[in-house]
Amino acid sequence: MEDFADKGLQVVVGLAIFAAIIGLIMLVVDRAPKSGREKLQVAGFLAPALILLAVGLVFPALQTSYLSFTDRNGEFVGLDNFVWMFTQPEALVTLRNTLIWVVLVPLLASSIGLAYAVFIDRARGEKALKALVFMPMAISFVGAGVIWRFVYAYKGAEQDQIGLLNQILVWLGQEPKQFLLDAPENTFFLIAVMIWIQTGFAMVVLSAAIKGIPTEIVEAARLDGASAWQQFRNVTIPTIRGSLIVVITTITIGTLKVFDIVRTMTAGQYETSVVANEMYTQAFRAGEPGRGAALALVLFLMVLPVVVYNARLLRKQKEIR
């Protein structure tokens, strides 16, 4: 209990120091002499955020870029880390896996989310049905990792199975399987977890977009005798195209950076590592900050085009509106 009092005190002190800093800033900008007041006020409001961003994000990102050209002793080694990444088998597996992740997760999560959104649109109990699929969004990747490791749990064929998936295999007359150990298919079982989490996001956003389709368009299509599938293909998809792209790009970015699922379920062993996990392993476990930094840089370069595309699309949408 004493321990908790200690922790509570830390939080109170932390909040108090923060409040004091903010209070001081407000006091200073209010009491400033008339002449330079506007400038000082602008500075006072912006400085805390901008200083933190400069010191904590901009400068470190530049430093990481430099680090990626050094070895474990901090010596400049040119492109060695990148050569390592693109030639060594264990690093290549990481890149291959990341590629599989980034193709499958956005595609399947968006498709399933869209299908579900269409199926339950205007159905009885739509709200509850949505909440069921949406719920995994709130669960941490670590928690999802436990949930799915339990689904994949393995016991020898002579024992009772405790994992649902292996029990289903047994019911179907198959041998139980080590889902997370056998490469290369184990990567797909990790990917399933990410799809499970992201589908809810896709579903909610796309469902909102579907509800935004003007009823006249739907009516017109129906009067023309369009079947449900034709309506879906020729009316729904084109109308919600913008939202669909936003969903896919957002999930793509999240997938590129996926770390926790791999970390907690296999720790990247058995050929399941991805770039974000390998970055952590190299930099903070293997004592190779140079390699870790190089991986972080590659991650940045992979995310960059997706974000730029997304931002340009958004601007175009704003102009239309």
Partner 1 sequence: MSTVPLHNDKELLPDVKDDATAGTPTMQKRVRQRLTSRGATAAAIIIAVIWTVPTFGLLISSFRPEDNIKGNGWWNAILDRQFTLENYADVLSPGGSQSPNLLSYFVNSLAIVIPGTVFTLVLGAMAAYMFAWGRFRGKDGLFIFVFALQIVPLQMALIPLLQLFTQVLKFGEFQLLPSGTYAQLWVAHTIFGLPLAIFLLHNFIAEIPGEVIEAARVDGAGHSTIFWRIIVPLATPALASFGIFQFLWLWNDLLVALVFSGGGADVAPITQRLAEIQGSRGGEWQRLTAGAFVSIIVPLAVFFGLQRYFVRGLLAGGLKG
Q: Which of 147, 169, 181, 217 binds partner 1 (CB under 8 A)?
A: 147
Least CB distance to partner 1 at residue 162 (A): 5
User: For 117-131, b where at least 16 C-beta lie within 10 A, e where not — what string?
Assistant: bbebeeeeeeeeebe
By C-beta, is 60 or 184 nearer to partner 1? 60
Alpha helices in 70-211 (DSSP H): 80-87, 89-120, 126-134, 141-152, 164-171, 186-211
By C-beta, is 80 or 111 nearer to partner 1? 111
Nearest to 117 by CA among 206, 13, 246: 206
- Regarding 291 and contact with partner 1 (CB under 8 A), the answer is no
- Regarding 107 and contact with partner 1 (CB under 8 A), the answer is no
- Regarding 309 and contact with partner 1 (CB under 8 A), the answer is no
Site string for partner 1, 32-61 (x = CB under 8 A): -----xxx-xx--xx-xxx-xx-xxxxxxx
| Gyration radius of the chain over CA positions | 25
Site string for partner 1, 193-222 (x = CB under 8 A): ---x--xxx--xx-xxx-xx---------x
Q: Which of 91, 189, 280, 294 binds partner 1 (CB under 8 A)?
A: 280
CA distance to 35, 112, 236, per residue, from 310 (Å):
43, 22, 21
Please report, as residue ranges, which positions from 232 to 251 form the binding site for partner 1 (by CB under 8 A): 243, 246, 249-251
Distance CA 118, CA 302 (A): 32
Q: Which of 91, 105, 108, 293 binds partner 1 (CB under 8 A)?
A: 293
Distance CA 124, CA 128 (A): 9
Nearest to 209 by CA among 291, 82, 117: 117
Least CB distance to partner 1 at residue 77 (A): 16
Please report, as residue ranges, which positions from 75 to 104 form the binding site for partner 1 (by CB under 8 A): none
Please report, as residue ranges, which positions from 6 to 25 form the binding site for partner 1 (by CB under 8 A): 7-8, 10-11, 14-15, 18, 22
Place of tokens 């989310």: 113
Distance CA 148, CA 131 (A): 19
Least CB distance to partner 1 at residue 90 (A): 19
